[in-house]
Amino acid sequence: MEDLTFLAFLFHDNPVYVIKEETQKNATSTQFSISSTLPLQFYGTNKKNILIILEMRTPDFLKTLEFTLLDKILQAVHLTLNEVAIINLTENKSLTWEEIIQAFSPKKIILFGVSPFRLKLRTSFSPNKISFFQNITILATYTLTDLGQDRNKKIALWNALKQLFEIQ
């Protein structure tokens, strides 16, 4: 991978950062630094300010059944990987809520099996219920592994996603 200078529009008035890009299965993996001490790796380009946060301990997330399920979920709500940003907390161990908000300015966040406490938040979100927190629409749900194994959880997620993305 080669280092590229990324455009500062992702970060509004913040300085430009160095990133690395890698493409697999039409997904872009990007790494940049939101501070001098914290590198942040994510997939996608965040064109629609929709953030997906998950925690997959698999070394190559893009080759898993869970990634395939996530891709199908995105297609069902008429999104592509280039329109969202996906953060795997396994690759970003010390990341906090404030750092995420600063880096991505999300309008919507979907948490796949991630507890708010993992992001150092003192709040909770009910599974598959739309919540609002700091002017951000949030949908917390089960892990991709759980969703892949439980049809009822998948149906509950689909109903919440239809509400989140206003799908008839």
Cβ 14 vs Cβ 2: under 8 Å: no
Query: Up-side HSE of residue 111: CA atoms within 13 Å toward CB?
Result: 23
pLDDT at 111 over 90: yes
* C-alpha closest to that of 160 among 144, 137, 133, 143: 137
Residues linked to residue 23 through DSSP beta bridges, in sequence order: 28
* pLDDT value for 38: 54
* pLDDT value for 84: 97
* Dist. CA 65–CA 63, nearest whole Å: 7
Structure tokens at 71: 């891709």
* Dist. CA 164–CA 138, nearest whole Å: 9
Residues linked to residue 109 through DSSP beta bridges, in sequence order: 51, 138
pLDDT by residue (tens digit) across 122-152?
899 999 999 999 999 999 999 999 999 999 9
105 is a domain residue: yes
* pLDDT value for 28: 58
pLDDT band at 69 (very low <50, low <70, confident <90, very high): very high
137 is a domain residue: yes
18 is a domain residue: no
Residue 147, helix vs strand vs coil: helix
Could you list the residue range(s) of the whole structural domain that residue 131 is in? 49-164
**Assign residue 125 a region: left if phi > 0, alpha if psi is -120 to 50, beta otherwise?**
beta
20 is a domain residue: no
Of residues 107 and 119, more confidence is placed in 107
pLDDT by residue (tens digit) across 8-66?
333 334 444 443 434 344 555 665 444 434 578 899 999 999 999 999 987 777 888 99
141 is a domain residue: yes
* Dist. CA 49–CA 144, nearest whole Å: 21
158 is a domain residue: yes
107 is a domain residue: yes
pTM for this one?
0.79
* pLDDT value for 162: 97
* C-alpha closest to that of 143 among 49, 69, 82, 92: 69
CATH number of the structural domain spanning residue 92: 3.40.470.10
Which distant-in-sequence residues (6+ apart) come within 8 Å of 156 by Cβ?
127, 128, 141
Share of the chain above pLDDT 90, in %: 62
pLDDT by residue (tens digit) across 71-95?
999 999 999 988 999 999 998 888 8
Q: In 25-135, which ranges are E strands?
A: 27-33, 39-44, 50-54, 84-88, 108-112, 130-133
Number of domains in the chain: 1
5 is a domain residue: no
* pLDDT value for 157: 98
